[in-house]
Amino acid sequence: MKALRNPLERAINHGSAGSGVHHWWAQRFSAILLVPLTLWLVWTLAVLSGADYAEARDWIASPWNASMAVLLVASVFYHARLGVQVVIEDYVHRRALEIALQVVVAAAALVGAIIATIAILKVAFAG
Amino acid sequence: METNQRPLSPHLQVYRPQWTSVLSILHRITGVLLSVGTVLMVFWFVALSEGEQSYKAMVAFMSSPPVLLALVAWTLALFYHLFNGIRHLLWDTGTMLELKPARTSGWVVVVLTFAAAAIVWGGLI
Question: Does residue A1 carry a pLDDT above 80?
Answer: no
B21, B15 in Cβ contact below 8 A?
A: yes
Inter-chain residue contact B38 with A112, CB threshold 8 Å: yes
Question: Does residue A68 carry a pLDDT above 90?
Answer: yes
Q: Is B51 left (phi over 0), alpha (psi -120 to 50) or beta?
A: left
The structural domains of chain A, with segments of one domain joined by +, span 21-126
B16 pLDDT band (50/70/90 cuts)?
A: confident
pTM of this structure: 0.88
CA closest to B27 among chain A residues: A83
B80, A38 in Cβ contact below 8 A?
A: no
Amino acid B46: pLDDT: 98
Inter-chain residue contact B42 with A49, CB threshold 8 Å: no
Fold annotation for B19-124: 3 helical TM bundles of succinate and fumarate reductases (1.20.1300)
Distance between terminal CA atoms of chain A?
A: 66
State the virtual CA torsion across A70, A75, A80, A83 in degrees, nearest 10.
180
Inter-chain residue contact B38 with A76, CB threshold 8 Å: yes
Mean pLDDT of chain A: 91
Inter-chain residue contact A83 with B42, CB threshold 8 Å: no
The structural domains of chain B, with segments of one domain joined by +, span 19-124
ipTM of the complex, rounded to two decimals = 0.89
Distance from B100 to chain A by nearest Cα, in Å? 24
State the virtual CA torsion across B104, B110, B113, B114 in degrees, nearest 10.
-130
Residue in B55, B86, B89 nearest the CB of A53: B55
Neighbours of B51 (CB within 10 A): 11
- Pick from A24, A35, A53, A104 the residue to mutate for testing the B interface (most B CBs within 10 Å): A53
Written as one string, the DSSP assignment of A68-91 is HHHHHHHHHHHHHHHHHHHHHHHH
Distance from A2 to chain B by nearest Cα, in Å? 23
Distance from A12 to chain B by nearest Cα, in Å? 24
Inter-chain residue contact B32 with A60, CB threshold 8 Å: no
Distance between terminal CA atoms of chain B?
A: 63
Inter-chain residue contact A31 with B88, CB threshold 8 Å: yes
Per-residue pLDDT tens for A22-60?
899 999 999 999 999 999 999 998 889 889 999 999 999
Which run of H or of E encompasses B71? helix B65-92
The domain A21-126 having CATH identifier 1.20.1300.10: the answer here is yes
Distance from A68 to chain B by nearest Cα, in Å? 13
Phi, psi of A13 (to 5 degrees): 70, 5
Share of chain B above pLDDT 90, in %: 81
CA closest to B91 among chain A residues: A28
Inter-chain residue contact A84 with B31, CB threshold 8 Å: yes
Return all residues near A3 (Cβ < 8 A) that are at least 6 apart: A10
